[in-house]
Amino acid sequence: MNKILITSLISLMLVSGASADTDGQNTMSKKSPGKVRDCFESLNRATFSLNQGLDKVIFKPVAKSYRSLPSSVRTGTSNALINISSLITIPNNILQGEFKTAGINTGRFVVNTTIGIIGIFDVAEKMGFSEYEKEDYGQTLGKWGVGAGCYVVLPVLGPSTVRDTVGSFINVLGGDPYYNASTHGNNEYLSDSIYMTTKVLSGVDFRAKNLESIDNLEKNSLDFYASVRSLYLQDRQQKIANSNPTIEIMYEGDWEEVESQ
């Protein structure tokens, strides 16, 4: 039943994404970075306000408490969460044709899960493995040339696009080995609740790392919603490009026009 519901939702989103894509403004694939339309802006702004309320009451206080934990505990937790994320990164490396990176990430995962005790210690980094970069199904779809579709703000989860939301659904449709092992695996160590705890902890860890920067951004923004949207879309664009972000997102044309003023 759940799968039917999820498949229906994905179909609906792909359809709305496809129709929104026809005006040519909302392509954010590697081939043609450009504008992503905010088709549901009123609804998105309402959801954004709801998320801000939840953040104020729940997430921010929890993140502050988490920050008061010893640095070694936070680093270990963060390392373990990053290690788990490689279970999504590795299949996406392969789907993007990055076989060498997939091999390196697999090696990193094996080393950190075993010698690094379920990823708490990033032994691989000390052994000289190259810098780890997360990949997900939204990025893979973008790399394959799928347009971003409209910008959406999801309750609790925050900013996304139709394509990235579809990418997230792929995780629960079999694309995330950790989810599969937690929900369908017959083992005594993992369960639905452990999976959910991991996801919540990832959110808290992210919020705790960005306490000051988010506060600062909110305080100095004229339109906080628009700032967050811009930052999210820039971030996704550079992650899909998988190359030196600074040079690629320069939009030289915009700056050259300033010259002629």
**Positions that interact with other proteins (CB under 8 A):** 67, 71, 209, 212, 216, 219-223, 225-227, 229-231, 234-235, 238, 245-247, 249-252, 254-256, 258-259, 261
Q: What whole-number distance in Å separates Cα of residue 237 and Cα of residue 116?
A: 32
Closer residue to other proteins in complex, CB, 8/234: 234
Closer residue to other proteins in complex, CB, 2/220: 220
Closer residue to other proteins in complex, CB, 144/251: 251
Other beta carbons less than 10 A from residue 233's beta carbon: 19
Minimum Å gap between C-beta 126 and other proteins is 16
Minimum Å gap between C-beta 245 and other proteins is 3
- Distance between alpha carbon 142 and the CA centroid of its chain, in Å? 13
Closer residue to other proteins in complex, CB, 4/222: 222
Minimum Å gap between C-beta 7 and other proteins is 34
Minimum Å gap between C-beta 67 and other proteins is 7
Phi, psi of 176 (to 5 degrees): -115, 105
Contact 168, 137 (CB under 8 A): yes
Residue 102's contacts (CB-CB under 8 Å, 6 or more residues apart) are: 90, 93, 94
Minimum Å gap between C-beta 125 and other proteins is 13
Q: What whole-number distance in Å separates Cα of residue 174 and Cα of residue 183?
A: 11
Contact 36, 233 (CB under 8 A): yes
Closer residue to other proteins in complex, CB, 199/209: 209
Minimum Å gap between C-beta 175 and other proteins is 25
Closer residue to other proteins in complex, CB, 67/199: 67
Other beta carbons less than 10 A from residue 149's beta carbon: 28
Q: Long-range pairs for 29-34 at CB < 8 Å and ≥24 separation?
A: 29/142, 29/143, 29/144, 29/145, 29/146, 29/147, 29/148, 29/240, 30/142, 30/143, 30/145, 30/240, 30/241, 30/242, 31/145, 33/237, 33/241, 33/248, 33/249
Minimum Å gap between C-beta 204 and other proteins is 15
Closer residue to other proteins in complex, CB, 14/67: 67
Q: What whole-number distance in Å separates Cα of residue 165 and Cα of residue 136?
A: 11
